[in-house]
Amino acid sequence: MVGASLKRLLENDQLVVGISELSEIVGVSPRQLRYWEQKGFIQSIEADVNCPRKYRLPIVIKVELIKHYLDEGYTLAKAAEKAEIRQKKMHHVRKVFSKAIKDIELFDERYTILSIGKFKEDDAQMYIIHDDQTDELAYKLLPADEKVDYEQLLKEI
């Protein structure tokens, strides 16, 4: 079972950074961030007028995406639109994976193995294996009641 703290992190959008930190992290000036906010592309947390702007994690991600699309040559409006679409998709992926992942195993500092739910039709468990060295994915279905030998699993892929 995935640890409760990992599950909370996957579901948590309450992490907050200030405008200076966001500027430094993403490489966008505070002035640009204020402009994007003025245009309605991003939103800071409502705060006292005298307090510096703060942003929640989803906005940090959105700023990173907007910057990425700007670097690819899109206009600010199109970059913000593409970032919004991508962020909605990421939200759904995060929601699904927070429910679907049953276990995560790291093997030999090279492989990440995700155990995904029990498939009712086949009474099987799916394993998704990512090879950090080759950046390739492999998939394996095994009987749900079978104890998994990760070393053997990796030999079979």
Angle of the 57-71 helix axis to the 19-26 helix axis, nearest 10: 40
Alpha-carbon distance 107 to 94, whole Å? 23
pLDDT tens digits, 77-92: 999 999 999 999 988 8
Give the other-Cβ count within 10 Å of 127's Cβ: 20
φ/ψ of 52, rounded to 5, equals: -70, 155
Predicted pLDDT at 8: 58
pLDDT tens digits, 3-41: 555 555 555 566 789 999 999 999 999 999 999 999 999
Alpha-carbon distance 71 to 118, whole Å? 42
Predicted pLDDT at 7: 53
Contacts of residue 2, defined as CB under 8 A and 6 or more positions apart, other chains included, come to 98, 101, 102, 103, 104
Alpha-carbon distance 100 to 123, whole Å? 15
Task: Judge whether residue 99 has pLDDT over 90.
Answer: no
Predicted pLDDT at 1: 40
Q: Which of the listed ranges 61-70, 107-116, 121-130 does the model predict with the highest average pLDDT?
A: 61-70
Task: Judge whether residue 144 has pLDDT over 90.
Answer: no
Q: Residue 150's pLDDT band (boundaries 50, 70, 90)?
A: confident
| Listed residue (47, 48, 40, 49) closest to 16, CA to CA | 47
Its pTM surpasses 0.85? no
* CB burial of residue 36 (10 Å; 0-12, 13-18, 19+): buried
